[in-house]
Structure 1
Amino acid sequence: MTFLGNIIWFVLGGFISWISWMVVGVLWSITIVGLPIGIQCFKFAKMGAAPFGKEIRFSNSGVSLVINVIWMLLGGLIMATEEAIMGIIFCLTIVGIPFGLQHFKHAKLALMPFGAEIYRIK
C-alpha cells in the first residue's frame, strides 16, 4: 500500500514538494557555506517524493536550533507555508486527508529540518 500511496502522492502534489526541496537545495549548494544545508535539503527532497512508510524524528540539540533559526529566516517559512496550504487543500476532501496529513508533516519538517532524522516504518 505504501508503494501505491507514494505513486499517487507524487502525481497529486508530491512533485511540487520534491521540486521545491530540490530548488532550495541547489540554491543553498551554490555557496560553500550553504553546502551542508543544501545536502540536508536533498535528503528531504527524497522524502518529499515518497513520504508514505517514513517518519521523522526531531532532536533537541542546541546546534540544530541555531541552524534552524537561520533556515527559518532564509527559506523555511516559505517552504512551510507552501506545505501548509497544500495540506489544507488536500484535507478539504475525505479522500485527500492522508495526503494532507503528509503535507502537514512536511510543513513541520520545513520549519525544523536540522536535527531531524528520517526513518523507515517497518
Structure 2
Amino acid sequence: MRTLLNLIWLVLSGFWLACAYVVAGLLLCITIIGIPFGIASFRIALFALWPFGRMAIPRLDAGAPSCVGNVLWLVLAGWWLALGHVVTGLLLCITIIGIPLGLANFKLIPISLTPLGHEIVRSDTPFAQRGW
C-alpha cells in the first residue's frame, strides 16, 4: 500500500514539491554560508519524493546552532515551502482519494519549517535504533 500511495503521490504532487526543494537548495548553495541549508533542502527533497513509510524525528544531539539555523531557514526558504505544502494539501483533500496524500503534505510542513535538528528515518525502524 505504501508503494501505491508513493507512486500516486509522486505523480500528483511529489515531483513538483521535490523540484521546489531542489531549487531552494541550489539558491541557498550559492554562498558558503548557505551550503548547510542547501544540503538540508536536498535531504527534504528526497523525503518529499517518497514520504509514505518514512518520518522525520528530532535529533537529541541538536543544539543551539540548529535553532539559529532554523530561524534563518524560516526566513529564507521555509515559509514559502510550507505554504506550498498547505496549498497542495488542501487541494488534495478535496477528493476522498486525495485525503491520504493531503495528510502527507501536512506531515511535511513541520520539517519544511525547521529542517535542522531532524532526521528522516523509515517508519518501521525500532525506537531503540532512533536514539529515543
Q: TM-score range by the shorter chain?
A: over 0.9
Q: Among residues 111, 114, 119, which one is paired with 1:112 in the alignment?
A: 114
1:12-64 CA distance string (max 9 Å, x none): 11111110111101111111111111111111100111001001112473221
Whole-Å separation in 2 of the counterparts to 1:71 and 1:36: 10
Q: Does the residue aligned with 1:56 lie in a helix, a strand or coil?
A: strand
Query: Pairwise CA RMSD of aligned residues?
Result: 1.2
Q: Which residue matches 1:89?
A: 91
Q: How does 1:31-110 map to 2 (within 5 A)?
A: 31-59=31-59, 61-110=63-112
Q: Which residue matches 1:6?
A: 6
Give the TM-score taking structure 2 as reference length.
Answer: 0.87
1:54-89 CA distance string (max 9 Å, x none): 011124732211111111111111111111111111
Runs of 4+ aligned residues of structure 1 deviating over 4 Å after TM superposition are none
- Structure 2: where are the runs of 5+ without partners? 125-132
Larger radius of gyration: 2
Q: Which residue matches 1:16?
A: 16
- Structure 1: where are the runs of 5+ without partners? none
Whole-Å separation in 2 of the counterparts to 1:61 and 1:68: 11
The total of aligned residue pairs comes to 122
Whole-Å separation in 2 of the counterparts to 1:75 and 1:42: 13
Q: Does the residue aligned with 1:21 lie in a helix, a strand or coil?
A: helix
Give the TM-score taking structure 1 as reference length.
Answer: 0.94
